[in-house]
Amino acid sequence: MDDEFVFTDESGSVFGDGWNGLLVVQDVEQETASFADQAESELTILQAGEVDDKLQRVLEQII
């Protein structure tokens, strides 16, 4: 290969401007931070029980 990434955006960034990843964890008693509070994080964390309610928002951020 020629050491170039296959997918880049207009700025040449490989990561784009959406989320870099989503980690779904098992449900715990402690509430996870909101999406807004996790905005500066490289990875967004979501509890399994929150997936149904927040799936639309997750897809909007990833796609």
pLDDT (tens digit, 9 = 90+) per residue, 16-60?
556 677 899 999 998 889 988 988 887 889 999 999 998 898 888
Cβ(42)–Cβ(63) under 8 Å?
Answer: no
What the block records as the tokens of 49 is: 């029980």
Look up residue 44 and give its amino acid. T
**Given this model, what pLDDT does residue 38 score?**
87
Q: Could you tell me the pTM of the whole model?
A: 0.62
| DSSP string across 22-60 | EEEE---SSPPPPTTTTTTSSSEEEEGGGHHHHHHHHHH
Enter the tokens of residue 38.
């996790």
Q: Residue 56 and residue 17: Cα distance in Å, rounded?
A: 18
